[in-house]
Structure 1
Amino acid sequence: MPASVVSIVYVNNAPAAARFYGDLLGMSPSFETSGYVTFDLGPGADLGLWSGQFEDLSPDVPRTSEVCLAIGGGPEELNVTFEQWKSKGVTILREPHDAGFGLTFLAADPDGNRIRVAPQE
Structure 2
Amino acid sequence: MPHPNFILLYVDNPQQSAKFYAPLLDKQPMESSPGFVMFALDSGMMLGLWSKHTVEPAAPKIPLGGSGELAFAVADAAAVKALYAEWQQRGLQILQQPVSMDFGFTFTAVDPDGHRLRVFAPYDPAL
What's the TM-score once normalised by structure 2's chain length? 0.81
Residue 40 (structure 1) shift: 0.6
What's the TM-score once normalised by structure 1's chain length? 0.84
The equivalences for 1:77-116 within 5 A come to 77-116=79-118
Alpha-carbon separation, structure 2, partners of 1:2 and 1:42:
20
Among candidates 64, 67, 78, match of residue 64 of structure 1: 67
Indicate the residue corresponding to 1:37 in structure 2.
Answer: 37
* SS at 2:17 equivalent: helix
Look at both structures and tell me which one has the larger radius of gyration over its CA atoms. Answer: 2
Q: What is the alpha-carbon root mean square deviation over aligned residues?
A: 2.4
Greater relative contact order: 1 or 2 (C-alpha under 8 angstroms, separation 6 or more)? Answer: 1
Residue 46 (structure 1) shift: 0.8
Unaligned runs of 5+ in 2: none
Among candidates 103, 117, 120, match of residue 118 of structure 1: 120
Contact 2:65 2:113 in 1 (8 A): no
Runs of 4+ residues over 2 Å off in structure 1: 1-4, 52-55, 60-63
Percent of residue pairs identical: 34
Residue 99 (structure 1) shift: 1.9
Residue 76 (structure 1) shift: 0.5
Residue 44 (structure 1) shift: 3.5
